[in-house]
Structure 1
Amino acid sequence: MQINQHARLSIAPMMDWTDRHCRYFHRVMTRGTLIYTEMVTAPALVRGGARHLLAFSEAEHPVALQLGGSDPAELAQATRMCCDEGYDEVNLNVGCPSDRVQSGTFGAVLMKSPDLVADCVAAMIDSASVEVTVKCRIGVDDQDPEVVLPEFLRKVSAAGVKRFTIHARKAWLQGLSPKENRDVPPLDYPLVNRMKAAFPDLHLSINGGITDLSQAQAHLKDLDGVMIGRAAYHDPGLLLDADRRIFGVERAPMSRHEVVQAMEPYISDHLASGGKLAQVTRHMLGLFTGQPGARQWRRILSEQGHRPDAGLDVLRDAAAQVAVAA
């Protein structure tokens, strides 16, 4: 399957959440879905020497790394590093509204500078051995998305980007927190659909407010891809049937208990290398959402998973609280 086909469904880059343990966990449940890293800043890689931030498991493929930055030369160098590590895609963040990102002149504030974004992606593409993509908003602050978004797509695609993920909300850089920016600005799905009609040769994915596979399937009637964020983290069980419903793979989905069992070898290796149980299981708390016993599952992992000696016995004890049919 080509990377664009995997992009029919993707899991959003989420700071402090989509680390390598989370990504491995999600990959256990779906082979087809494209998985994104947390945002890694180009300055951290190039100036800070933080190459350890690029670590991932071969089992995570297909996996894309999201970069933050606004200096074309620095982004080009960071892109080379990502490609050398073996990522399947490099994505430029033009959507994050946090103060920390704004102070570095990257993220959503770059919606105001499409020419700079075009320069950045052109440099990245020149340095890349894989596809370079962009995740953006429909606009920021008082911008008119009807004007800003098509101009942004036109300029950035002219620089070589052929795949965009559009978070269908504005970002308000002043007055709203990053958390509020995920919920308060209204969604404008019809605008994203109009962009597909205006740019039929671009691969456009939609992001924002999508909470289940039925919604994803509805969006895929008009668009090329769907990106799911927090819903996939808080209720990861929704990924269990993604390969069949989104990618047409005729394979029975795993049960949630089978997912727990499949995670055991990975967790065992992590513990053997000096890692802690909670570093992995914190991402698994929502696995049994909606199932009888889910509260006890979360409670045991939350209360006992942080013990210095916590091991697979804690995981198994937590799973035993949930009906096997789950």
Structure 2
Amino acid sequence: MFATYFTTCIAVNLLLVLAYGCDGNRLEKYYLIVTTILSLALNVPTMALGQFGWNDTSDTCWYGNASPELRLRWIIATQSFWISLAVAIEAICSFYVIFWLFRVSRQLSFWMSFSGRSTSERMTNSLNDRGVSLLTRDPRYSLTASEALYPIVSLFMNFSTVILDLNMSIAHTTVTSQDFRLLVLDLVMYGLRTLAYGVLAAGDPSFVAAVREIRSSRKSAAAINDKRTVTNLYFASASTTSTGTGTQVESVVSTSTRPHKVSANAKEDTSEMKESAGVEQGTNECWTSDIEGPGVQESQEDIKKIVRQL
């Protein structure tokens, strides 16, 4: 019953958001509160009074009152009436939403064909005055009609189970073969109701759009991370030390995004420094790996200037 009431809330929410421009996010807490209170109020007293138990007529764990009349009253008062009311509300709301979508679509088509492109501003003002939700201005708003499938499926499933439950509750001292077939059909309908809701949820446009958005965001994040990965520039950092016999140049290969300045006082070791810095003789072109990011061109130009000074 809890799932049935939530399906009713979906139908009511569609009607309020599309036709009357209400904020569905603010209404969610009221849907949850009313559904929870109603479910507890109908099931907890019934269980506390011992009305749930083994049903000898249907050989199932259900309403177990031995008196057929009392059992029928409990079923109608705590289940059948409320399920029928919920299904009726779903049907009214869903059919009204379908009619509203059809009427708005006809009006938009008429306005576009009558006045052409110049009516875009006038249509927007008219929709604003009527309090129409922003969702209806999207060309894809007709996809919301698929949301009406929830109440329609619930209408078929729940009315069928209510009728079959009442049929089994109306006193039959002996269960005939036809009653047994109806009992099996009733149990199958209860099982198919959950499956039908799951199939509808899997094909729901909002659910599909959310899955696609998650996948695209993950791909975008991976692409951004790959693009921001920078291969560092390899270059030589050389320092000189004076000895008794002359000047000795020590070159150290390091990794950085910015080059270090090379200081050298001896020209005889410049070839060794060029080789350590990855400079090709005769071309003065510095080898670098593929990198992306600001400041790379400046680094390359600085290295070329240092090599020319050497």
TM-score higher than 0.5: no
Structure with bigger helix share is 2
- Structure with larger Rg: 2
Superposition TM-score tier, normalisation by shorter sequence? under 0.3
Structure with bigger strand share is 1
